[in-house]
Amino acid sequence: MLVAFLVALFGFILLNIPIAFALLLTAVVLMLLSSGIEPAIMTQSLVRGIDNFPLMAIPFFMLAGEIMNEGGISRRIVEFARALVGHVTGGLGYVGVVASMIFAGVSGSAVADTSAIGSILLPIMDKEGYDKIKSTALISAAGTIGPIIPPSIPMILYGVVAGVSIVKLFLGGIIPGILIGIGLMIMWYFHAKKQGYKADRKASVREVLHSGKSAFWALILPIIILAGIITGIYTPTEAGVIAVVYAFLVGLFGYRELKLTRMPGVLSAAVKSTAIVLLLCGAATSAAYLITTAQIPTMLTNTLMSWSGGNPIIGMFLINILLLIVGAVMDLTPALLILAPILLPIVTGFGLDPIYFGVVLVVNLCIGLITPPVGTVLYVGCGLSKLSIGQMVKPILGFASVMVVVLFIITYIPELILFIPNAVGR
């Protein structure tokens, strides 16, 4: 049955069938090979995968990201980051990473993060003589921090699938997201020194304060979201609603750059993105039911347990390698929805915390967003800078290697993930 599952899934993907329909067709194959499973059960699983209240956070955070792009909030974040670190050699690279980390505190989406920061910063970096290929690779890699620093759409999905606290998952992503940002900046430092990029004039204290004042309403939004979730004032889903209302009011009345005539386009983009994710959720839930019925998780558990000898250190190493391979050939959302219910029993069998594994899983699959051949964020970066995938492979793998180092650090030092959730105690 495991072989049938893998052949069906990857066979449909190789036929260029959209991943959601590939999952549904794979579920049909498993249903036909199993006995006693009615088609109605598959339909019920599909609906159950979508009909889940915490998933309501996803369209709201996606809409908030679209409104921020349209309302001038993203640009002010970039300008503030430039005032802070633009004077350092290669400063625009650091600006991109810092701005991505700030924007990650609102959007929860790697594509939104990369599109927002890259569309503003990449033309400026190109104009000022930065290596176009290396700059695009850095901004793309920094964009993957979007789903790691809270809020995070993939962590919402994992929380629903695993039945664990989304708040704790959010908190667990803070330190790993910061570590990835620091790692990317360290690698950029050596590149900038080698290239001898010129630096911006150092902003005066007055200029920093002015840019901070201009970006104030944008900068406090992540604080509002996270503080409210931590204190229990509102749930992650309600935080998404607050993010939308806040971004709309600031863009329309605060910065006065959001035009009502542009809102149909903003809403349309958010609806399309949401529809794709929710269809994937339903398809993956349906496939997951058939996968569980076919005892595939038990087969994999026994295999990994035998290979690792029950040792969690070896087990997590093997799981990470598996996820890195899968992430390179499958987008984050379907990979997470398929693998989380399969791998979670294995991880808990090792005696490891599901919150810890959720963050490791998301960080791992985020690396796949910039690795060819299926790196969604990589394609976004190439589209923004009009570069081919072939031109990007070598530099993007360099930045991806930094993320892999951070991945294994947090894998083998779980406290880097669990410290804040345990300290807050929610």
Q: What is the tens place of the pLDDT at every residue in 319-355?
A: 999 899 888 877 888 889 888 988 998 899 889 999 9
Residue that wins the pLDDT comparison between 164 and 200: 164
CA distance to 1, 74, 139, 158, 368, per residue, from 118 (Å): 44, 10, 6, 28, 19
What is the amino acid identity at position 311? Answer: N
- Among 3-17, 36-50, 63-77, 406-420, name the most confident range: 406-420
Which residues are within 8 A (CB) of 288 and not within 5 positions of it... i.e. 6 or more apart? 45, 161, 337, 338, 341, 342
pLDDT at 366: 95
| Average confidence (pLDDT) over 393-415 | 95
pLDDT at 87: 83
Q: Quote the CA–CA distance of 127 and 366 in Å, as a whole number.
A: 29
- Res 424 pLDDT > 90: no
| Average confidence (pLDDT) over 197-224 | 85
What is the CB neighbour count within 10 angstroms for residue 217?
A: 17
Cβ pair 174, 423 in contact under 8 A: no
- Res 37 pLDDT > 80: no
| Average confidence (pLDDT) over 265-289 | 84
What is the full DSSP assignment across 33-68?
HSSS--HHHHHHHHHHHH--GGGGHHHHHHHHHHHH
Q: Quote the CA–CA distance of 73 and 67 in Å, as a whole number.
A: 8
The token pair that represents 214 in the structure block: 């201009």
pLDDT in tens, 375-392: 888 888 988 888 888 888
pLDDT at 38: 79
The token pair that represents 260 in the structure block: 């009502």
- Res 19 pLDDT > 80: no
Q: Residue 106: exposed, middle, or buried by beta-carbon count in 10 A (0-12, 13-18, 19+)?
A: buried
Residue written as tokens 């104009």? 127
- Going by pLDDT thresholds of 50, 70 and 90, the confidence category of residue 399 is very high
The token pair that represents 348 in the structure block: 């808990």
What is the full DSSP assignment across 151-201?
S-HHHHHHHHHHT--HHHHHHHTHHHHHHHHHHHHHHHHHHHHHHT---PP
Q: Quote the CA–CA distance of 93 and 131 in Å, as a whole number.
A: 11
| Average confidence (pLDDT) over 11-33 | 84
Coil/strand/helix, residue 138: helix
| Average confidence (pLDDT) over 397-416 | 96
- Res 253 pLDDT > 80: yes
What is the CB neighbour count within 10 angstroms for residue 348?
A: 14
Across 4-154, the runs of DSSP E, i.e. the strands, are none
Single pTM value for the model: 0.84
Q: C-alpha 74: how far from its chain's center?
A: 18
- Res 224 pLDDT > 90: no
- Res 426 pLDDT > 70: no
| Average confidence (pLDDT) over 74-82 | 86
- Res 61 pLDDT > 80: yes
Q: What is the mean pLDDT of the chain?
A: 87
- Res 141 pLDDT > 80: yes
Question: Using CA of residue 105, residue 110, residue 113, residue 117, what is the dihedral sign?
Answer: positive
pLDDT at 364: 96
| Average confidence (pLDDT) over 259-281 | 87
What is the CB neighbour count within 10 angstroms for residue 272?
A: 10
pLDDT in tens, 177-196: 999 999 999 999 999 988 88
